[in-house]
Amino acid sequence: MKVTKDQAQANRAHIVETSSKLFRERGYDGVGVADLMSAAGFTHGGFYKHFKSKADLMGETATCGINKTIEQMQGIELADFVNFYLSRKHRDEKGQGCTLAALGGDAARQTDGIKATYEAGIEGLLEVLQGKDQELRTSRAEIINTFAHALGALVLSRACPDDSPLADEVLRVCREQILEKLAP
């Protein structure tokens, strides 16, 4: 039975979505093509009908994950972003959370093409966090500092065992410090 063009596009989107989650949970080197395809409900042999390489899929999943974060952040206040980003819920949901926090270290060891995907995503996130209203805009330097601080805090917290008091302390201390600086 031949797959329609629409079904092939839906299958590809499903593979990207499933792979995005698995990459965030296990890292780029922590999951192979066979595992990715199996998790999406397909055979390993069908992978190359959709993608040229694993790196091709990695770039698409990064774009997908970062774009979802950007969509979720539309219109959100910076303080609300910090409260969510540095929450235990976000920390514990690696597969659903920020692609940059989950895979930024992995991306640093990838090709320039994948790094460019991350660069574009970071620019998009900074733009959304900076806001559109010229009178309420936070400076780019402040946004970079806030995001880098939050991202680093999340990575440090995730590096600790789940039941570690330090994991929660890092989130709490950094959240409080960032919010204090944001207060008028």
Domain range holding 81? Answer: 5-182
Q: What is the pLDDT of residues 24-72, one digit of tens each?
A: 999 999 999 999 999 999 988 889 889 999 999 999 999 999 999 899 8
Judge if pTM exceeds 0.85: yes
d(CA 108, CA 105): 5
Q: What is the CATH number of the domain that holds 42?
A: 1.10.357.10
Domains in the chain, number: 1
The whole-angstrom separation of Cα 4 and Cα 18 is 21
Calculate mean pLDDT across residues 147-176: 97
Predicted local confidence at residue 137, as pLDDT = 66
Tally of residues, the chain: 184
Question: What pLDDT was estimated at residue 132?
Answer: 64
pLDDT at 123 over 60: yes
Per DSSP, 109 falls in state: T
Mean of pLDDT values over 79-96? 94
Q: What percent of the chain has pLDDT over 70?
A: 96
- Residues 39 and 22: beta-carbon distance below 8 Å: yes
Model confidence at 136, in pLDDT bands (50, 70, 90)? low
